[in-house]
Amino acid sequence: MSSSAQTESQPLTFRRFKDGEHEWKDLHQKIFNADHSHKCPTYIQSTPPCQGSCPSGEDIRGYLNIVRGMEKPPAGMSWQEYAWRRLTEANPFPSIMGRVCPAPCESGCNRNEVEDHVGINSVEHYLGEWAIANGLKYKAPEQTTGKKVAVIGGGPAGLSCAYQLALRGHEVTIFDEREFLGGMMRYGIPGFRTPREVLDAEIQRILDLGVQVRLGCRVGTDITLDELRLNFDALFLGMGAQAGRALPVADCEAPNVVTATAFLRAFNDGRLQHVGKRVVVVGGGDTSIDVATVARRLGHIEHAHPTDFEGAIAGHMAHDVAEISVKQGAEVTLTTVFPVDKMQANRHEVEQALAEGIDIRGGLAPVGIVRGPDGRATALRLAECEAKMVGPRLELKIKEGTEQDIPADLIVSAIGQAVDFTGLEEFNNGKGAVGADRNYQVQGKPGVFAGGDVLRPHLLTTAIGHGAIAAEGIDRFLGGEELEKRPKIDVHQFDLMRKYVEKGVSLPKVEEPLRGTDRTAGAVHNFDNRSERYVIPHGQLFLGHFGFVARNQRRIVTLSRETALGNFEERLGLLSDQEAVAEAKRCMSCGLCFECDNCVVYCPQLAVKKVPKKEATTGRYVFTDYDRCVGCHICADVCPTGYIQMGLGE
């Protein structure tokens, strides 16, 4: 088991103004005149950096505020269901993503400036599991539009697009060439990371919305594009990039040199039962870690014929041989062109791989393979190198005279993926991908949209976000609307006006601006939503409000070299109800009021007051009496979330 997190309190000092400080930090503060200014507080909703970093566009702050109890669910609904429904407005795979997403949201979390990020991924995992255990379903629309959309590919992008389109009332049919839906979630990630019963449950919810499926049907071969165009009103290209990239060396083809996608597909199909004694994986990203850990668990057959594991990858594995043979642990070496501490793989996954006995060697680039008399590879030849990324391009400098050979019974190339355009050549932009605009409409192809790895191989959660944005574009296209420019910050946000409706608070109809004023009855008092254009940094928060609180971490089983062999059990534990709530309470609600009362308590003019309960809702907890306010700035200084900013005097 992993070691427990540090729990003792640590002194934290986040003073905004220090003794003897007399210089202005910026010109905006110079508007002060003694104890007053020409500015007064405004209430500004901003995007927290966790959401700004989430490729699938989740309203993270929103569902954490529900879990912590700040935003109350409607009558008759549990907080777990309410939070899950808020989460799945963007992402229909919370249980899967809660397990495998590398969580860029946590890297961006402002709480890192206090002690440690909020465990967003673990709360998402908890909500996803709770929903499955309690049989939650999506709510189908009451009416359908009569429009039909064909989705090519049943991976994360295609399923996400189909889900969002079905919620909008469109008829959706998914075409996938494989036996099951899931794409890389099923065929590119081992089952001990994405349990199949969990994946099936989250996919079935989408199908229950009325989504039709045609499996074992490849578009371009089994059915033509002309047939789809004739029978459907729009197309979505989500076929993924499931063709692996070969080693970037000349004459690298050999029976026992394979790609990572072929290796993992064979394993996930149940065809790969063992590997050779010595396995060398070339990569450095998360896929290469998956290959290495699978190889380490499979082990090898002590007296296997050389072609047995090659036959497994080709689809002709002799299962009876595997079942009666003695399995021993494989010696797995993972090489990467980057130094080990600069690898692209998730740091936690690297540490787990090292603990399992996988030898990771950095700063090495493949330059050739060594062959035996039968043509099979017996070793991978590598040389020391210096690697750096220049934009999206890798620059590699080989150090002459540093060549070395690593013996291998199996060599796996995990250096990237490619799109198979067979029958779909018209969509190839000449660079092995599909070109699309900000709405993910394919260039020069009205009504054809794309998302996921066909645009560029990236995270599963990125593909989910692509599918959602494309679905919105398809919906507008089907409605005959212009595809508008996407917002600068393209994620789901807390909707104050929807919250008013949900709570039953009615606002009189107004002709004046609905926001940014305190003079019009029915307007939302001195409030502005800048979420589409502004991510609030930690410097805008009052960090001194937050004390040290250790993160509630999931239990993670760390295997050793001995215990990894044959162990395909899930390694990731689940937070309890109490731990999930406690972790959500660590969220600082950046950019949205979380009702701490600091502004009310510290206002020397008694100008900041609570909104009457019958008019109040989440996000509208306080208002300012401008007849009393002198613009002293104190309320903004003590606002922990940065929700109060000084304005109105410019």
Q: Would you state the pLDDT for residue 371?
A: 92
**CA 19 to each of CA 28, 303, 632: distance values in angstroms, whole numbers, following the listed order:** 21, 76, 19
pLDDT of residue 118: 92
Question: What residue type is assigned to position 607 of the chain?
Answer: A
- Burial, 356: exposed, middle or buried (Cβ in 10 Å; 0-12, 13-18, 19+)? buried
For 446, residues 6+ apart whose C-beta sits below 8 A from its C-beta are 477
H helix and E strand count, the chain: 20, 25
**CB count, 10 Å around CB of 649?**
10
Say how far apart CA 563 and CA 543 lie, in whole Å: 43
What's the predicted TM-score (pTM) here? 0.81
Q: What pLDDT is attached to residue 322? A: 26
DSSP code at position 246: P
634 in Cβ contact with 32 (< 8 Å): no
pLDDT at 649: 55
Strand order in the sheet with 448-450: 212-215, 171-176, 148-152, 234-237, 448-450
- Which fold is adopted by the domain 148-241+419-478? FAD/NAD(P)-binding domain (3.50.50)
498 in helix, strand or coil? helix
SS3 of residue 568 by DSSP: coil
The C-alpha atoms of residue 369 and residue 375 are separated, in whole angstroms, by: 11
Can you tell me the distance from the alpha carbon of 199 to that of 195, in angstroms, rounded to the nearest whole number? 6
Output the 3-class SS for 6-38.
Answer: CCCCCCCCCCCCCCCCCCCCCHHHHHCECCECC
- Exposed (0-12), middle (13-18) or buried (19+): which is 468, by Cβ within 10 Å? buried
What's the token pair of residue 129? 């599991």
Query: Please, which residues have CB within 8 angstroms of residue 288's CB and are 6 or more apart in sequence?
Result: 260, 281, 282, 334, 336, 345, 412, 414, 415
Residue 237's pLDDT is: 96
571 CB-side CA count, 13 A: 22
* 615 burial type by CB count under 10 A (0-12 exposed, 13-18 middle, 19+ buried): middle
Kindly state the tokens that stand for 503: 């709570």
Nearest alpha-carbon partner for 191 in 270, 258, 259, 125: 270
User: 535-551 burial, b for 16+ CB within 10 Å, e for fewer?
Assistant: bbebebbbbeebeebbb
The segment(s) of the chain belonging to CATH 3.50.50.60 are: 148-241+419-478, 244-416
Asked if 640 and 594 touch (Cβ cutoff 8 Å), the reply is yes
Q: Is 465 helix (H, G, I), strand (E, B) or coil?
A: helix
Amino acid occupying residue 623:
F
- What's the Rg (C-alpha) of the chain? 28
Domain 244-416 fold: FAD/NAD(P)-binding domain (3.50.50)
Q: How far, CA to CA in Å, does 600 sit from each of 59, 565, 595, 605, 638?
A: 28, 60, 10, 10, 10
Give the pLDDT confidence score for residue 34 in this predicted structure: 47
The ranges of the chain with pLDDT < 50 are 1-8, 27, 31-32, 34, 301-327, 650
User: Which string of b and e fits 492-523 if b means at least 16 CB within 10 Å?
Assistant: bbbbbeebbeeeeeeeeeeeeeebbebeeeeb
Q: What integer pLDDT is reported at residue 206 of this predicted model?
A: 97
Task: For residues 292 and 331, give the distance between their C-alpha atoms in angstroms, rounded to a whole number.
Answer: 10
Residue 371: strand pairing partners: 377
pLDDT of residue 81: 98
Phi, psi values for residue 634, rounded to 5°? -65, -40
Q: How far apart are CA 355 and CA 349, in angstroms?
A: 10
Give the pLDDT of residue 184. Answer: 85
